[in-house]
Each structure stands twice: as structure tokens, then as C-alpha cells.
Amino acid sequence: MARSRSVAGAAVVTALFGALLAPALSVPSPAAAAGLHLDHAGASPASTAPVAAAAGDSGGGGYWLAATDGAVFAFGDAPDEGSAAGDALRAPVVGMAPTPDDRGYWLAGADGGVFAFGDAGFAGSMGGRHLVRPVVAMAADDATGGYWLVAADGGVFAFGAPWFGSTGGVHLDAPVVGMAPTPDDRGYWLVAADGGVFAFGDAGFAGSMGGRPLVRPVVTMAADDATGGYWLVAADGGVFGFGAPWFGSTGGDVLGRAVVGAVPGAADGGYRLVGADGAVYAFGDATDLGSVTVAPLAGLTVVLDPGHDGGNGADPGFIDRPIDGGGFTESCDTVGTTTPGGYPEHAFTWAVALDARAALQALGATVALTRQSDTGVGPCVNQRAEVADVLGAAAAVSIHADGGPPGGTGFAIDEPAPVVSSISDNRAIVGPSAELGAALRAAFAAATGEPPSDYTGTAGIVVRRDLGGLDLSTVPKVLIECANMRNTHDAALTQSAAWQGLAGRGIAGGVAAYLEAALRT
Ligand code: ZN
């Protein structure tokens, strides 16, 4: 893990700082290190959303990749018949299936919505109807021209296609994640994340991984029409063939993001695995006809919390009121510090947050700020923590500058200690927050040249249990004191727009390095 983490950090930090860190890039890419064949003809369109599904044409000479935002990317013989990119989807796309003649396809959303393109007919959907669990995959019925949707509980919804049974209502040890029809479409298999296989109609049971240890969960399956068997595919690209030949896998390799799809090649003499990062891994006689370049942080939300606010000093009645910080009482917020000349911390944190936001957005992240201007009051620190929880953020950073002893310089990163209270339990985020802190320390130091604090913490890290903003967080979170505003040297830095930009990019680089490492499979 340490090696893959440093590779991830190098890729993103170098994107941000160019030649500054170029030597770090002398390591081979994970794909090259793994000896994978990525030598396709060249087409590599960009996507701002992660790839979520893949489908192959009937001849095996082409395939489509679909992203969560409804974008469709066609390769080889597979025709581009349109996409839902640019539409405001109610739920992410999770499944895709082609029509019998490959002149169209359907997309399925997690809410059961179905979108038809080309010669695909709309035969109904679960959109707008109550679902016990989200839809996770779909399959086409070539015999009828209809299709099936399958939900995480194994519920199967048939539209213009016969229903052969489901596991809806049956207790499952793990959620259903994939579906494949039999060669004559008179049955189908469902597969669960633990590798369990459920056969319906004329589908034969040829084996499963149920009850056997898996390094990573199964994420999809594909039928081998040549043999009547099937392949199960895990998030790390591990492939398990049952009544179907094994042509290879990426199991044991380090992938940029998890595998999400599998597409058989011509005559089922091979298969292609597709990653959420748009990578295509071809095995057997299946060929790599092109891949998608997914933005590094696509699909992830980051919360940036610029400390304090411009109006706090004028409203002590609001910011001094007590709140529960997670088993102890603290004030809603504070005014923050200033430089000896009077430049306020809230203005510094606001400027740095805007720079960090721009850098993270350039990497494809969705970024939310806990305040929308530098002239308001609050919000309270507990509300700042709640923003990241509500948005399901992948990481959060509170941005501050310290009011330390005048003789002290440097930056410090506050990380949460485990704290359990009547209103909170942050134990699950302590470890990930430490990883975030380590990545942030490295990237911030590289970007700004600022040393770790010489008056607090150990090598720039301070573990604390007295900050509600950390105790109440449900997502990986740290607080950075970028510099000591009471120190003459540091004070000059914090007032420099150029240094603010470096600080913002350093924070973004640390967050990105942490998230890319977390995405690796
Ligand atoms: Zn502060």
C-alpha cells in the first residue's frame, strides 16, 4: 500500500506543480509495472464521471462504456447511437445492454429509470416507482427485444421479457451486483458480491465463489455463450470461470480504480475488463479497442471549510453560544487571529479555500464550501462538520492559520483522536484521517516550502480530541494551520496572494493524493 500511495501522490502533485516534483514520476505507471497491454489504437475520450457499466456488441468486435452521468463511449464495431450526457439524471447510470442487432442500447439508472437509444425500444422501467433496493445491473433479452433490471436485493424486473424468478424477499448474505442471460435467453444468472450465483430458467449452476474467501468483492459477471458457462469478476479484476475458460485477470495488480464491467470478445475466445477509471484490460483473443480517460477525482465530493467568517467579530451573541462538540462544550465559532498588522485569518482562509477549490475542480472533484462568502457569520463548527456528512464527502479539510507564539513558525495539521459521545462516534474516520493528514503534510510542504511547525505537534502533526469539527465528523477530515500569523515571517506569507495560491494548491494536492490512493484497487 505504501508504494501505490506514493505513486498516486506523484501523479497528482506533479499535475499541479509540474517540474517541481518531476523526479518523483520516474516510477512506472501501475499498468506498465503490471505488464498490461494498453496499446490500443488511440481513441481515449475524456469523461468527467466514472465509468459504471460496459456492454459488448454481438460480434465481439466492439464495445460501449457508460459513465454514471449517462455518457456513452463507443469503440470498434459498436456504433455511437447517442447518450444521456448533459441530461439531469435522477440517479447514476449503473447498467447497459445492447439491442439484438447492435444498432441501439439501453441504459439503466440506480432508480430503475431506463433510457433507450438507436433502435432500442422503451418497454417500461421502474423510474418513479418504489424500489426496496437500488437497481444495480441490466441485461437484454435478444429473443424478445425486451430487457431485465436487477436490484441489489436480487429483485428482477422484466420488461418485454419473461420473468424466470428472483431472490427478492430472500435473505442474502451480500447484495446482488450483476446479471447475465443464458445463450437462448430462456434463463439468467444473478451474482452477489460474495460470489454467490443464483440460476433461474434454463440457466445451469456451474459453480460459484459463495463461501470461499475473496480478496475483493465480485462486481459483475458475463455469460460464455460458447460453453454455456460464466465468468465472475471481482473489483480487483480477478476472474473466476465456471464452465468457461480462464484467459487471465488483473487480480494481484494495482489498478487505478475498481473494475466495474466485463465484455466477452469474439466467439467468447477472450474477454475485456473495464475499470471505473475507463481503463480496458484485454485477455485471450479479445482486443483493446480504446479506453476512456476519466478525471482523477471524478465522482468524488470534497468539503473545504474556510475557518471563521468576516462577520463573526460583529456578532458575539451568535458565535459565542455554546454547542456540543461531541461530549464537551465549546463555542459555536471564534473570530480567529490576525497578523500583527491586522490582516484577519478569515480573509486568508477564504482566499486559500477558493484556490484549493479551483485546483480540486480541475481534477474532476465536486467541491463544496462550508460558507459562501467572507462577509457572513458562522456557521458553527458542528454545522461545518455536518455539511460533509450530508453530502457524503470523500474527505474534508478545515483551513486555518494559527495565532501562535511570535517566535514560532511553520504549519501544523490537526488530526482526530478517537472520541465517542452521546451524539458522535468518530472512530471509523481516525485511521483514514491520519492518511489524509500524511498526504496533506507532504503536498503542503512541497507546494509552499513551509516547514512543519517548530512550536506544536510532532513533525507537523497534532492529534486532538478537543475540536468539535473533528470529533463530530463522519468523513475523513483534518484541520490545517497553514502558518503562524503572529510570526512576522509567516504573517508576510499569509498576506501574499501568490503564497495563498501555493497553499491552496498544496491542500488540493494532499487531498487528491489521499483520494487517489483510496481509489486504488
Ligand atoms: Zn482559526
Nearest alpha-carbon partner for 397 in 440, 362, 427: 440
Catalytic residue, from 435, 450, 481, 516: name it. Answer: 481
DSSP run (H or E) holding 6: helix 2-17
Distance of CA 309 to the CA centre of its chain: 30
- List all residues 6 or more positions away from 139 whose beta carbon is below 8 Å from its beta carbon: 95, 97, 147, 148, 150, 179, 180, 181, 188
Q: Which of 21-30, 127-136, 315-324 bottoms out in mean pLDDT, i.e. has the lowest? A: 21-30
Hey, where are the domains in the chain?
12-24+46-294, 301-519
CA of 105 to the centre of ligand 1 (A): 53
CA of 348 to the centre of ligand 1 (A): 10
pLDDT tens profile 273-310: 999 999 999 999 999 999 999 999 999 999 999 999 99
pLDDT tens profile 476-517: 999 999 999 999 999 999 999 999 999 999 999 999 999 999
Q: Which CATH architecture has domain 301-519?
A: 3-Layer(aba) Sandwich (3.40)
Q: Is 352 exposed, middle or buried (0-12, 13-18, 19+ CB in 10 A)?
A: buried
pLDDT tens profile 173-223: 999 999 999 999 999 999 999 999 999 999 999 999 999 999 999 999 999
CA of 305 to the centre of ligand 1 (A): 11
Distance CA 58, CA 183 (A): 12
CA of 309 to the centre of ligand 1 (A): 10
Q: Is 326 exposed, middle or buried (0-12, 13-18, 19+ CB in 10 A)?
A: buried
pLDDT tens profile 349-379: 999 999 999 999 999 999 999 999 999 999 9
pLDDT tens profile 94-106: 999 999 999 999 9
CA of 501 to the centre of ligand 1 (A): 18
Instruction: Report the pLDDT value the prediction gives residue 43, as an integer from 0 to 100.
Output: 63
- Which residues is 218 bridged to in the sheet? 234
Share of the chain above pLDDT 90, in %: 89
pLDDT tens profile 437-478: 999 999 999 999 999 999 999 999 999 999 999 999 999 999
Our answer to whether residue 481 is catalytic in this structure is yes
Instruction: Report the pLDDT value the prediction gives residue 268, as an integer from 0 to 100.
Output: 86
Instruction: Report the pLDDT value the prediction gives residue 30, as an integer from 0 to 100.
Output: 38
Q: Which CATH class is domain 12-24+46-294?
A: mainly beta
> Per-residue pLDDT for 255 more than 70?
yes
CA of 410 to the centre of ligand 1 (A): 15
Amino acid 521 reads T
